[in-house]
Homo-oligomer: A and B are copies of this chain.
Amino acid sequence: MELYFHWFDLFGIAVFAVTGTLAAWRNQMDGFAVIVLASVTAIGGGTLRDLLLGVPVIWINDNSYFYAIFIAAVGTILLLRNRLTVPHNTLQIADAFGLAVFVITGTQKSLDHGTSVMVAILLGTMSGVCGGMIRDVLCREIPMVFRGELYAITCILAGVLYTSLLALGVEQLQAMVIAMFSLLLFRTASIKWK
């Protein structure tokens, strides 16, 4: 696995930790409960992906993920405590960032372990969707993925785009960035003009 792969994953984990923290805040949870929810949201998708692939879970021998979660969660709380105005759709937009990263890295990691393209896209989508799903179930909200059909379709299409780019011979890092930005753009647009 390449180095940038690790940084993408760290970034995705940090933004999902932010969404977990925001969700916990909205539900008036406190202190460490926030960090628990942030962690579960952040590592839920990638953990499920690794378990299903039968490879060691990503964070079992790497503490950096927890530092990322901790910094993201504490930073978010500090901002919220200082009553920084939180734009209306912050949770959904942060969720879109995490989604973009996890869907694509998840797809690539599956391909690396020899799955078919179809299973890779599925595992990519699960990596992106499941952290947020656990977050919403724990907060007893209808999971975001069920609130409109564009959410899941966007993930699948981004996976299709990514694997198509690879098939067309585009270099891996380039293909990743293009697919992530497409997913992000599409999600942000569909949040804005819903």
* Interface of A toward B, CB cutoff 8 Å: 24, 27, 29-33, 35-37, 39, 47, 51-54, 56-57, 59-61, 63, 66, 115-116, 118-119, 122, 129, 133, 137-138, 140, 142-143, 145-149, 151-153, 156
Q: Which residues from B are CB-within-8-Å of A53?
A: 60
Q: Are A52 and B63 touching (Cβ within 8 A)?
A: no
- Contact of A33 with B115 at beta-carbon distance under 8 Å, contacts A122-B66, A138-B143 already known: no
Complex contacts, A119 vs chain B, CB 8 Å: 59-61, 63, 66
Which residues of chain B have C-beta atoms less than 8 A from A66's C-beta? 118-119, 122
Q: Which residue of B lies closest to A37 (CB)?
A: B146
Contacting residue for A152 out of B35, B61, B146, B156, CB 8 A: B35
Most buried by B among A36, A66, A147: A36
28 contacts between A and B (CB under 8 A): A24-B146, A27-B146, A29-B146, A29-B149, A31-B149, A31-B153, A32-B151, A32-B152, A32-B156, A33-B148, A35-B152, A36-B145, A36-B146, A36-B152, A39-B122, A47-B52, A51-B51, A51-B52, A54-B56, A59-B119, A60-B115, A61-B119, A63-B118, A66-B118, A137-B138, A138-B143, A140-B140, A140-B142
A147 to B36, CA, bound (A): 12
A31 contacts across to B, CB distance below 8 A: 149, 153
**Closest Cβ–Cβ distance, residue A49 to chain B (whole Å):** 11
Interface of A is mostly: helix
Contact A148 B60 (CB under 8 A): no
Q: Contact partner of A33 among B54, B60, B63, B145, CB < 8 A?
A: B145
Q: Using Cβ atoms and an 8 Å threshold, which residues of chain B touch A142? A: 140
- A31–B119 alpha-carbon span in the complex (Å): 20
Considering the complex of A and B, which 8 residue pairs feature the smallest CB-CB distances, nearest first?
A: A31-B149, A32-B152, A30-B149, A32-B153, A32-B149, A33-B146, A36-B152, A63-B118
